[in-house]
Amino acid sequence: MNFEENKKKITGNVNVVCDADLWKDLHELHKEFGINKSDILNNFINHFYSNKDDLIKVIAPIIEDQLQQRLNEVRKLQGKVKAVSSPPIKEVITQINRMTSGNSQGAEYQGSHIGTRKNPINLKRTNYSVEFTDQGISMLNGKRDTWVHDTVSKGLAIRFKKFGKVYYTRAKNSKVGKNTIRVKIGDTSEMTLQDARKAHAKNLDYIYTENKNPNKLFPNIKHTRNTKHAVKYDPAPVVETKEDARDWKTFRTYTIDDLDTLGKILSEETGIIQNTLTKFKNKLSENLHQQCLDMFRDGMTIFDLRKRCFKLKDTNNPESAPITYEMCIYRLTKAIYHFGTHEEKQSFNF
């Protein structure tokens, strides 16, 4: 934009990523009063903003961190320190925000790396790595399903969700499997970096001492994707229950952030496996499945999602009853199987 165009420009748009609590409050106000979320935020800003100094107060911690980074660099030059350091947090943020797509092979693929307790993953094969600090983590922002790795606690990573950031343990152990293990630790807003590093250390001990995957909390039921039925297996020595007896309402509070947990519980559900292999009845059915996944990605709970999903024959009937919780989850998992991202499919071992 040249100088003349800049003078004419008096307004502009800014894309803002809201955390889970803010988005929830905005959504509730929108439902209650019918006011657009953008209008609510705009009025909120106009209420508290008067001049540039108001903004300076808010970004003061960020400015302070940047100045500290520069001071550290000057001190290293004065002391002629040649130690290789991780890139400044600001540089990492800039790189992440320039990404055109969320997931990438560079963040996942570890090649022939074997993995050890000291080097659970090969940082050279990851896109973004930086020394984690509590303040730095609060500044980090990126596209969904982008990964950033800690250069201090090797294997500790942050994964960006639709709303918020989550700590993960990422490690590869050839004795456990050929794929990189991912263990969810917790949301960055709900735990400190110190607690995350302690949990990460425990995960690594379990992975390399016990040679086991911490995610294996359920019986390892093998199944195939190219047949109509799951492979037979010997059930664990527990009280036998029928799949029809499952209370599907227990998943009503689940959102996109709980997809990993949902996948652990339901990835071996025979009915879901069979349903994902079936073809769509027609184009309308395919569109309904895509819409279901899109609404779920927007942060909607299973409870709210079910109320907005209808049977194929009732699509144009506003008075028809919504589908059941079971049918809603079946529709969602089938949509993930056909249209989901690599990360979404991996949650269900698709």
Whole-number pLDDT of residue 299: 85
pLDDT lower than 70: segments of the chain: 1-10, 61, 78-115, 121, 123-127, 217-245, 318
Which residues are CB-contacts of 26 (< 8 A; sequence separation ≥ 6)? 18, 37, 40, 41
* Measured distance CA(288)–CA(292) in Å, rounded: 6
Strands (E), 71-132: 129-130
* Closest C-alpha among 127, 118, 132, 129 to residue 207: 118
**CA–CA dist 348, 333 (Å, integer):** 8
Instruction: Sketch the domain layout of the chain as residue ranges.
Output: 3-49, 86-209, 243-347
Query: Rounded distance, CA 263 to CA 273, Å?
Result: 12
**pLDDT, position 334:** 93
Q: Say what the pLDDT of residue 328 is.
A: 94
Say how many residues make up the chain.
350
- Going by the DSSP 8-state scheme, the letter that residue 87 receives in this structure is P
332 DSSP 8-state letter: H
What pLDDT does 141 receive? 76
Question: Yes or no: is domain 86-209 CATH 3.30.160.390?
Answer: yes
As beta bridge partners, residue 41 has: none
Predicted pLDDT of residue 167? 92
Q: Residue 312 and residue 286: Cα distance in Å, rounded?
A: 10
- With b for 16 or more beta-carbon neighbours within 10 A and e for fewer, the 298-314 pattern comes to ebbbbebbbeebbeeee
> CA distances (Å), 162 to each of 25, 112, 235, 260, in order?
16, 31, 37, 14
**Residue 336: predicted pLDDT:** 93
How does DSSP assign 176-193, residue by residue?
Answer: T-SSPEEEEEEETTTS-H
pTM: 0.38
Kind plus residue range of the DSSP H or E element containing 282: none
Amino acid 182: pLDDT: 87
Contact predicate 127/104, CB 8 Å = yes
The number of beta carbons lying within 10 Å of the beta carbon of residue 344 is: 23
Q: Indicate the average pLDDT of the chain.
A: 76
CB 188 within 8 A of CB 160: no
CA angle 295, 299, 304 (to 5 degrees): 65
Contacts of 40 (CB under 8 A, 6+ apart): 26, 29, 30
Query: How many contiguous H segments (helices) and E segments (strands) does the chain have?
Result: 14, 5
Distance, in Å, from the CA atom of 147 to the CA atom of 168, rounded to the nearest integer, reads 10
Q: What pLDDT is recorded for position 156?
A: 92
